[in-house]
Structure 1
Amino acid sequence: MEKIIIKGAHENNLKHLDIEIPLDAFTCVTGCSGCGKSSLVFDTLYAESQRGFLEGMTGNIYSQKLMNKPKVMSIENLRPALNVSQNYYNVNPRSTIGTITEISYYLRTLFSLVNSDAKNGISENTFSSNNPKTFCSNCNGLGVEMVVSPELLVPDPDKTLRDGAILYFKGSAESKEQKCLEAICDHYGIDIDKKYSNLTKDEINILLYTEEVLRVKISYKDGKRKKQHFVSIQGIIPLLKKQISSADSKTQAAPYSKYVVTTACHVCNGAKLGQKALEYTLGGLNYNEVESLEITSLQAWLKNFKDKRITEDKKVLVEQLKDSIFQKLKALVELNVGYLCLNRSVPSLSGGERQRVRIATQLTCSLKGLIYILDEPCKGLHHKDIVRIIDATRGLIQKGNTVIAIEHNKQYISEADYRIELGPVGGPEGGYLISAGVKQYNQKMMFDFKKPTVLKDFLKFENISFRNISQQNTTFPIGGITCITGVSGSGKSTLATAVAESLNKNTAKKYGELYGGESIKRIIQVNQSPIGKTPRSTVASYLEIFDEIRTLFSKTSVAKKLKLSPSMFSMNVKGGRCECCQGTGIQKIELNYLPSAYITCPECNGQRYNDEILSVTYQGKTIRDVLEITISEIIEIFRDTKKVYSVLNSMIELGLGYLTLGQMSMNLSGGEAQRIKLAKALGVLSGGQSLYILDEPTSGLNETDIEKFQNVLFSLQKKGETILIIEHNLEFVAKVADYIIDFGVHGGNSGGKIVAQGDPRDVFAQKNSSLYKLDK
């Protein structure tokens, strides 16, 4: 069997590894967090493949200037590699499942063909939401619009106007906001000490909706200064619309965003297209109605629809288009995303859904001889769905490709043709090859149930109706650990969101009747969304400890002598940073037809700062050392700085001591991002009054990392905190859960049903549970 032969790989913490990876086979790379998996697969193998591809297009000298060669002696038999990872940033709201799979193109062509006749030809662009001639002119083809929400303006209608019932007017007695409110009430004869709930419809209309502009003179205090001038006042909603539309940037509009919600466009009702385009139909449905069908329903419709306009001369082409669409839909269903619809925007997908959609796209691709790199393809999947990912992986190989996957799931790893384990730990002490080969792998799940905890108080949530959940009831213990389980798309994340928003008094969003949540004062939602998407965002900046660190450096004798303020140690401000790379240590290179590449800054050689700043040391370390040395190594110099030490200690407890404070946020895995968010939250003491909502916290973790995380959870529980976890790792669920809420065996519109809940042992024993007998 032909093999990729890697010699002397020493990128990041890799210890000059010599590794062989079989081609046209399925290889899994495993190991603890920070042990070097990504350094080997992404930073070495994939990076060299990308560099080699660019070299073939542009010539050797040019490619060397654009992309740094990975730190490796040599790689033989390397093929073109495709990165199908979960850290695929696509924030374009116009990008949908239909567009990235190209199903929308075939569907638009089908609509065009059937609706055209000898006299009138209908272009496929007629059905594109990017076409200014046919998209909805109100939302410009986005299908949504931003509107001011009366509920967000008035979260507590039982307050009086003077006490801040309308948040826009909330302020001190002498504030500008309060004086504006007084002027309106005086002019229209409204009692300012009246509860909002007692106002008449006319009074509410004046305060919120009137277009009439009132010009009045007010006197107010701005800080300690007294001011007096004329102001123009009208109903809050039209006033906010003007302020938002006139804002030149998101920053200027930010103060008003708390009153705004995204809702379906009131003109097209979310269809994105103008009325004329929606008049054309296919099998009795317009274009939006077809794209709004769940993919499984679309399959059935495509197979059975009839249209009298499909004449004999059109039949062959119609069948070809239907077949192309059907094959792509079939791949999506096989990867268990059949509950989604074609018009679902890509940014709204979870990392797991996004990766599965991209894998499905490749299953219908005609290219061969590629290396597919998968990053935790089982993430976000119930154990019953992992078989589909295994089948898809085999499908890629059968087409003549190679698959290399980073994965921790036992079920998936056991099916690999070849396994590589790195370790033994994360960070500088890791990066060694522990084993490589085809040895037997034990995939059997081991269940060790947590000792029952006595819990007296419960939060009750009744008549829950949100997204695909309808009229469901549940409870979970205050001060306990509750795990939400179920197949993908069954309603787990929806329930967690409904709980959070219903408890949050500032959102005024209620998705059911909630009882018993009075003791919860703080809600901490920790998901796996990226914590930064640019080189300027680092671990230090996200943790909000860099201000304290910069202050420490500015107080040193050398810094005082040089008159260096804390801002001079910032990577975001001119003065101390390298201006060539603006403090990032790297430069971005835009490449045609390829993702952007990053190279080390030639001016500062990646050091981020100028020589003057690097001459200053704190506890024998420069600011660059603080950013580049691992957290485990650097923590001791901050022992006397309470906030910094506390946050860094939480990072180590969560198994993240191998990271550096200067690491770019965009290079973090979803699991690392989530644990960093949790570490930041743990730095704030709450005294047992918090609800932690965690989304698949064990993804990306091996057994050693999970044990560390487990201990952090138990520590939180001892402090009286309430923890709600969405999780697919059932061994972990058994070890930590006091209570389980299990959703049914279907996703999408067929899901949303709680089928079992209660003590973990009881839920595993219930026949209708998705966990039935898995512990046997």
Structure 2
Amino acid sequence: MEHFIQVSGARENNLKNISIQIPRDQIVVFTGVSGSGKSSLAFDTLYAEGQKRYVESLSAYARHFLGQVGKPDVDAIEGLSPAIAIQQKTTSNNPRSTVGTLTEIYDYLRLLWARVGTPHCPVCNDEISRQSVDEIVDQIYSLPQGTRFAVLAPIVRKQKGEHRKILEHAKASGYARVRVDGSFYQLDDDIPFHKNEKHTVEIVVDRLTVKADDAQRLTDSLETAFSLAGDIVLIYQYDSGEETSFSQSYSCPRCEVSLAELTPRMFSFNNQEGACRTCSGLGFQVKAASFKGAAGMQQEAVDETLAPPCPDCHGDRLAPMLLAVSVGGMNIAEFCRLSVSAALDFIANLRLPGTKAAIAELIVAEIGSRLQFMNNVGLEYLQLSRTSGTLSGGESQRIRLASQIGSGLTGVLYILDEPSIGLHQRDNARLLSALGDMREMGNTLIVVEHDEETIRQADWIVDIGPGAGKNGGYVVAQGTLDDIAKEPSSVTGQYLSRKKQIAVPEYRRKGNGKALTIIGAAENNLKAIDVSIPLGTFTCVTGVSGSGKSSLINEIVYKRLAAELNHAHMSAGNHQQMQGIDFLDKIINIDQSPIGRTPRSNPATYTGLFDQIRSLYALTNEAKVRGYGPGRFSFNISGGRCEACAGDGMMKLEMHFLPSVFVACDVCKGKRYNRETLEVHYKGKSIAEVLEMTADEAVTFFGNVPKIRKKIEALCKVGLGYVQLGQSSTTLSGGEAQRVKLAAELQKPATGSTLYVMDEPTTGLHVADVHQLVHIVHALVDGGNTVVVIEHNLDLIKNADYIIDLGPEGGTHGGSIVCTGTPEEVADCEASYTGQYLRAELKGNESNEYDGSTGYPY
């Protein structure tokens, strides 16, 4: 038993009381169609139980601040290690959170710059240094023997006044000479001071000649001078008139600028000591709208994308004195602006003199290893200065993954949610190698994944299904790759064994002869490229991570068209010109954002289906007799809803030191409506019972109502037949939300002039769901519309009519057009990474599934 995690009687969400043994210290992939119950087992059961056990080990006081995790619906879990979940959620929208701070690399950078950094004057850029008294003595005694010099202590520096009291105090202390404004005087002389002019006064502490037996005297004089002047002593050579300044702290005598002892804390832009005074370390100027949260904490509400850079630090976040400290000729902000790959090169080639090399050795090694971890998970194009709020879910997840690899933990259960999301096939091998490294460290990895390569590399596979929602929740098959491929009831196995596959189209659409042309696209890393998107086609934009796909499509194409066609308040990314806008009448971005901001939103309300259902109920005889209109059947307004729960159907009970509990409303029993409304029936069902139906059930129930049936059929076509009509939007995954939006579009009459934009629509989709998505995309294009998809999934790419491949690399080495054309033409391009993988996919996926009426596999 110690070699397994034993789960007994798991019933969370749609899980059907399953029991399963999961091998420890292995990479275990949970797969299955979307909505089958993978996340319910991985996150809602295993991770939730791990978190519950951790929180329960803490004091009641700590639990009050950390929050509580409810007990998952499971009989028992044995052999569970401490669990860490690495999900796709955006890490933080706090503008102070960056890639460097998330990975803790910035902490090591602060230590490196503080320990071995070379300070410079921020005014004149001269190098400034500090020396001990012994080092100063050695430097003075390197002068020729017999050199006459004076030790001066500057006690007044360019200050107005006559300074008589200072001279009287110096004379009383036994000093005889002074230099004022560059001229030497006896303290008994009548020294010319002008009250309204600035003067510099330096006490002559001693006059000496360079000779061996005066070293101790010089040491004493220097210490006396430092005690008088503070941090600067001047050595004046009588014969040459040359003057040298020495300091025991960092200071520039020419500009009278001094710097305190360098500490790692000073290089933090979250600390008042080191942050730029103008922007408080944000890097941009903004009038922060502060509000107080429930815990009385203030939070800065800022939108950095709309704010101009700080006029003082120019986005570098730190005070001028800190930005003047360099390591290898670069300040810490300049280093953070490097991509991960460029930062790795800098660290590898860093050469430090003398003792600095020994001091920095371990720090540099740790920085290099953490950068390498990021490189290994496909993030070599990211800058350490990039704020976390601008990262995609996949990037955020891989950053946390790199941090965990760097932590060196062992004996941990890691649960990952589709780590391959957003990764090009070229980078996937490095990710799998990184996962293997975590396993070799003695950890167990449970990976919720649809990517075929990841599934094939797993030590153990658990296929959950067979269907989604109510039709899922069972363990269909488990074992090695061969075991799954041989299981006839496993949908995953059928695709792995190639018994099922997504076919390549017989021919490619040429389009309608029109094109949308972008000229001089230069947003982010785009190299002022010119590119055309043929209208009336299915176009895929491909390329390695960070190659500029989102900059081109989301930042330039979508925002420009949304502003001009939809009158949205958006500013398009940097480009010179866009031609062909007149050929389009609207643009729609079908993304994976939630379909509603509140739990009240659901598939029925989003698609407009619920309006027609309410109208149908208002036409029943019972509703007419009672005078009920469609509004009576809305749970969002007073009248027909249950007022005890305001139409939510649930009540929240605060439990303070225990998790908050949601219970069905005592009055409506979770139905959302009051008793009178629920008494109105259509075909024997109340409106609450209709909302509890799945789309598959509802399409039969409303079979004789064409308008309603058509909308429900659209949900079924996009693979959401298992979703309840009234299911809260907050419980839908990103892929499910995206397909609800697709269903809403499929219901609309085709205009033939709509441009649909999708960013990685296969996220969260099983290959069987991708098969359905392919059909949907082709249906949209067959209506005369244009679909532009940013994608890495080869099954979708090989179905495109036209491909725009960007690269060749990510970050600064990307942003160019590698090649364009049909999938076959791109596959023949040797310079294209996409082409290399597409070539094998096209050769190995020939199929005679073909409907000659359209040319596409339906």
Matched, 1:296 2:341: yes
Report the counterpart of residue 342 of structure 1 in structure 2. 384
Written as runs of structure 1 = structure 2, the 5 A alignment for 1:436-475 is 436-440=478-482, 442=496, 448-455=504-511, 456-475=513-532
Residue 732 of structure 1 deviates from its aligned partner by 2.4
Specify the alignment match of 1:652 in structure 2.
716
Note the C-alpha offset of 1:86.
Answer: 0.8
Correspondence 1:263-342 to 2 at 5 A: 263-305=308-350, 312=355, 315-342=357-384
Shift of residue 360 of structure 1? Answer: 0.5
Q: Is the 8 A contact 2:377 2:402 kept in 1?
A: yes
Instruction: Confirm or deny that 1:703 pairs with 2:767.
Output: yes
Amino acid at match of 2:802: Y
After TM superposition, list the pairs within 5 Å mapping 1:213-612 onto structure 2. Answer: 261-305=306-350, 312=355, 315-440=357-482, 442=496, 448-455=504-511, 456-497=513-554, 498-504=556-562, 505=564, 506=567, 507=570, 509=572, 511-531=575-595, 538-539=602-603, 543=607, 557=622, 566=631, 569-570=634-635, 576=641, 583=648, 585=650, 587=652, 599-601=661-663, 604=666, 607=670, 609=672, 612=675
SS at match of 2:527: strand
Give the counterpart of 1:121 among 249, 257, 261: 261
Counterparts in 2 of 1:123 and 1:627: CA distance versus 1, 3 Å: farther
Q: In the alignment, is residue 45 of structure 1 matched against residue 107 of structure 2?
A: no
Shift of the 298–527 alpha-carbon distance from structure 1 to 2, 3 Å rule, reads same
Contact 1:373 1:405 in 2 (8 A): yes
**Cα separation, 1, equivalents of 2:797 and 2:758:** 13
Does the 8 A contact of 1:614 with 1:624 survive in 2? no
**Stretch of structure 1 that moved more, 704-713 or 620-629:** 620-629
Cα deviations by residue, 1:582-621 (Å, 9 ceiling, x for unpaired): 83736497999xxx96643375598274764774555354
Mark the runs of 5 or more structure 1 residues left unpaired by the alignment: 147-240, 250-256
Q: CA offset at residue 678 of structure 1? A: 2.7
**Structure 2 residues not aligned, in runs of 5+:** 120-129, 131-247, 250-259, 294-301, 486-495, 844-858
C-alpha distance in 2 between matches for 1:393 and 1:691: 39
**CA-based RMSD:** 3.8
- Which whole-Å CA distance do the structure 2 matches of 1:753 and 1:603 have between them? 58
1:739 to 2:802 alignment:
yes
Q: Which letter maps to 1:348?
A: T
State the partner residue of 1:753.
816
Distance in 2 (CA, whole Å) between partners of 1:452 and 1:84 is 40
Residue aligning to 1:99: 101
Change (3 A) 1:351 1:450: farther
Report SS of the residue matched to 1:73.
strand
Post-superposition Cα deviations, 1:391-413, rounded to whole Å, max 9, x if no partner, equal: 11111111111011111111110
1 CA distance for matches of 2:17 and 2:393? Answer: 32
TM-fit CA distance, 1:579: 6.0
Aligned CA distance change for structure 1 residues 47 and 532 (closer, same or farther; 3 Å): farther
CA contact (8 A) 1:87 1:670 kept: no
Cα distance 1:75–1:572, how it changes in 2: closer, same or farther (>3 A)? farther
Return the alpha-carbon distance in structure 1 between the equivalents of residues 713 and 515 of structure 2.
32
Structure 2 length normalisation: TM-score? Answer: 0.69
1:29/1:495 CA distance change after superposition, 3 Å: same
Q: Which residue of 1 aligns with 2:832?
A: 769
Inter-CA distance 93–528: structure 2 relative to 1 (3 Å threshold): farther
Contact 1:576 1:612 in 2 (8 A): no
Using a 3 Å threshold, how does the CA distance of structure 1 residues 332 and 601 change in structure 2: closer, same or farther?
same
The secondary structure found in structure 1 opposite 2:547 is coil
SS at match of 1:466: coil
Residues 421-478 of structure 1: CA distance to partner in whole angstroms, max 9, x if unpaired? 1122112122222111114254889862441324322333233222111122222221
Structure 1 residue 72: Cα displacement:
2.1
* Conserved 8 A contact 1:129-1:141: yes
Evaluate the alpha carbon distance shift between residue 31 and residue 285 of structure 1 in structure 2; reply closer, same or farther with a 3 A threshold: same
Alignment partners' CA distance in 1, 2:373 and 2:538: 37
Q: Give the C-alpha shift of residue 670 in structure 1.
A: 2.9
Supply the distance in 2 between the matched residues of 1:337 and 1:344 (Cα, whole angstroms). Answer: 12
User: Distance in 2 between the 1:765 and 1:112 partners?
Assistant: 52
> Which SS does the other structure have where 1:469 is aligned?
coil
Letter paired with 1:10: R
Q: In structure 2, the residue corresponding to 1:285 is in which secondary structure?
A: coil
**Superposed displacement of residue 543, structure 1:** 4.9
Structure 1 CA distance for aligned equivalents of residues 615 and 686 of structure 2: 13
Tell me which amino acid in the other structure corresponds to 1:764.
A
What is the rounded CA distance, in whole Å, between the counterparts of 1:335 and 1:247 in structure 2?
A: 37
SS of 2:804's equivalent? strand
Q: Which region of structure 1 is more displaced relative to structure 2, 282-291 or 79-88? A: 282-291
**Larger Rg computed on CA atoms:** 2
Number of the residue aligned with 2:696: 632
Scaled by the length of structure 1, the TM-score of the pair is 0.76
- Indicate if the aligned counterparts of 1:554 and 1:560 stay in contact, CA closer than 8 A: no
* Kept after mapping to 2: 8 A contact 1:460/1:474: yes
Distance of aligned partners of 1:145 and 1:523 in 2 relative to their CA distance in 1, 3 Å threshold = farther
**Cα 1:542/1:560, change in 2 over 3 Å:** same
Contact map agreement 1:26 1:404 (CA 8 A) in 2: yes
Return closer, same or farther for 1:453/1:69 CA change in 2, 3 Å cut-off: same
Structure 1 residue 629 displacement after superposition:
3.5
Contact 2:808 2:816 in 1 (8 A): no
Q: Distance in 2 between matches of 1:521 and 1:145?
A: 38
Q: Which segment drifts farther, 136-145 or 297-306?
A: 136-145
Q: Offset at 1:650? A: 2.6
Q: 1:130 aligns with which of 270, 279, 303?
A: 270
- Among 105, 108, 111, the alignment partner of 1:109 is 111
Is the Cα–Cα contact under 8 Å of residues 30 and 421 in structure 1 kept in the other structure? yes
Q: Which shifted more, 503-512 or 554-563?
A: 554-563
2:744 aligned partner = 680
After TM superposition, give the deviation of residue 136 of structure 1 in Å. 3.9
For residues 749 and 84 of structure 2, what CA distance do their matches in structure 1 show? 44
Instruction: Please say which of residues 554-563 and 379-388 is displaced more in the overlay.
Output: 554-563
- SS of the aligned residue for 2:439 comes to helix
2:226 maps to: none
Which whole-Å CA distance do the structure 2 matches of 1:39 and 1:655 have between them? 19
Q: From the superposition, tell whether residues 412 and 114 of structure 1 become closer, same or farther in structure 2 (CA, over 3 Å).
A: same
Please give the residue correspondences for 1:45-84 in structure 2 after superposition, counting only pairs within 5 Å. Answer: 45-58=46-59, 67-84=69-86
Quote how far apart the aligned CAs of 1:365 are.
Answer: 1.1
Residues 70 and 659, structure 2, Cα contact 8 Å, conserved in 1: no
Contact 1:87 1:351 in 2 (8 A): yes
Aligned amino acid, residue 289 of structure 1: E
Q: Which moved more, 1:531-540 or 1:508-517?
A: 531-540
Residues in 2 aligned to 1:749 and 1:590: alpha-carbon distance in whole angstroms: 52
Secondary structure of the 1:360 match is helix
Cα distance in 2 for residues equivalent to 1:732 and 1:726: 10
Q: State, as a whole percentage, how many aligned pairs show the same letter.
A: 35
Query: Matched residue of 2:425: which SS?
Result: coil
Deviation, 1:80, is: 1.7
For residue 523 of structure 1, give the secondary structure of its aligned residue in structure 2.
Answer: strand
Supply the distance in 2 between the matched residues of 1:15 and 1:463 (Cα, whole angstroms): 56
Distance 2:679 2:465 in 1: 35
**In the alignment, does 2:758 pair up with 1:716?**
no
SS of structure 2 residue aligned to 1:14: coil
Matching of residues 150-161 of structure 1 within 5 Å: none
Q: CA deviation at 1:356?
A: 0.8
